[in-house]
Amino acid sequence: MINLDKGGRINLTKAAPTMTRARIGLAWRPNDFSSGFPYDLDVTAFVLKQDGTTGKVSMLSEQYMIFYGNLNAPDGSVIHTGDNRTGDREGDDEELLVELAKLPAMADEVSFIVTIYEAPERKQNFGQIPGCSIRIYNDETNEIIAKYDLEEDFSSETAVQFGSLYKKEGQWGFKAVGQGFNVGLAEFVTGYGGQVA
């Protein structure tokens, strides 16, 4: 297993050449700090394509936004295993399965964003939530290939991009991003070219 630092990358095609299905596990610890509401974190995977001219990334379509309200990509390439509203599960709190060979040829990236449900109304942020991490598994063997522990102090942020799977020259890699944002899920949808219902 490789422990990644923020900005670190791993070539998954070389590290796990027989892997066809990656499992992305995201974890956090429930916090004793009370804002009067439970902490309900939600993971969303955006399957993205890159404009070769501008470099801008956008969703393939809104069907490729995989979250608690849309658990499966239309081709089965990305599957969300279900919403966890407490963070008290043993091991990973939410997981997604990514069938690399099923991803459309135009897909260049799968970005993993974690948001806090109703964060502004509940006066919650990631500075109140400890123990955040993301793990990349070979789902066939259950081997952890890489792990990234978020050690940043997100004092006011309500969303974090934990990491991204990305394709470069036909090979898949993973980048530990660890970037905080003070926005909600709707802003990511519009930022990636989608429409908010």
In this prediction, residue 54 carries a pLDDT of 82
* Mean pLDDT for the chain overall: 88
In this prediction, residue 32 carries a pLDDT of 64
> Where do the structural domains in the chain lie, given as residue ranges?
2-191
Please report, rounded to a whole number, the percentage of residues in the chain having pLDDT higher than 90. Answer: 59
* Residue range 58-114, pLDDT digits in tens: 999 999 999 999 999 999 999 999 866 554 556 788 999 999 999 999 999 999 999
* Residue range 3-21, pLDDT digits in tens: 999 999 999 999 999 999 9
In this prediction, residue 97 carries a pLDDT of 97
In this prediction, residue 107 carries a pLDDT of 95
Report in angstroms the alpha-carbon separations of 21 from 13, 58, 148: 12, 23, 19
Q: Of 4-8, 58-62, 129-133, 178-182, which gets the smallest average pLDDT?
A: 129-133
Percent helix, strand, coil in the chain, to 5, is 10, 40, 45
CATH match of 2-191 with 2.60.60.30: yes
Contacting residues for 128 by C-beta, under 8 A, at least 6 apart: 31, 33, 35, 39
Side-chain-side CA neighbours of residue 86 (13 Å) = 4
The residue to which tokens 């970005």 are assigned:
111
Amino acid found at 53: T
- Check if the beta carbon of residue 169 is closer than 8 Å to that of residue 142: no
